[in-house]
Amino acid sequence: AFLGFVSSILRFVKSIIGATFYMCRLDYSPLGRKLESFDSGFNAYCGFIHTECTHRHPVMLVFVSHLFSEIKQQQYSTAHIDLDDFPFEGKQVVGVKKTSRYIRKWRLAAFLVRNPAILFFRKTFLKKLSLEDLHAINDVDNDNQHNTHRGANFYTRQMAAQRGSFVTEIDPTQIVIQRF
């Protein structure tokens, strides 16, 4: 009994000395695998490793540096434009975003004029409808087929009656979807 007590005290002293030398090793939890979740230093180290891994990924770094260099190059090129080199009188800066928005809206208007049935399936039109109207559009026939063309015809007539419109009636057999 005495030798067991002395050997346990020696093991305890050795573990204290070993713990002081290996305290700086945070990648190893002295509590073991089952209790390492209770070790806050080990959890903080694991979180740091995961964060460093995500923020130092080589593919991500190359991608971000490429994006950053492109943005800086665009900023430099727009900041150093000399308007005296242009031959026009007004010396106006052309807004690319506004013109592309106008072109996009013009194409949308032309597309909707060519395909008036699509007008009734756009988000802005569907937001204005009540729940009963939405059920009427998505009406299901007896053979479980969606009859959206009948719903589109109904709403075409209804909307044409409410206000002046270029759409009077749409025949589902004549609908041709045209794209640019």
- CA separation for the pair 45, 52 (Å, rounded): 10
Both 41 and 106 in one domain: the answer is: no
Residue 66 lies inside a defined structural domain of this protein? no
Express each pLDDT in 120-154 by its tens digit: 677 777 777 777 766 666 665 555 555 555 555 66
Predicted confidence (pLDDT) at residue 17 exceeds the cutoff of 80: yes
More confident residue, 94 or 2: 2
Same domain, 116 and 168: yes
What single letter denotes the amino acid at residue 111?
F
In this structure, is the dihedral angle defined by the CA atoms of residues 79, 81, 83 and 88, taken in order, positive or negative? Answer: negative
In terms of residue numbers, what domain contains 117?
A: 99-174
Whole-model pTM over 0.75: no
What is the count of structural domains for the chain? 2
18-71: per-residue pLDDT in tens? 777 776 666 777 777 888 888 887 888 889 989 988 888 888 888 888 899 888
Spatial contact of 159 and 167, defined as CB atoms under 8 Å apart: yes
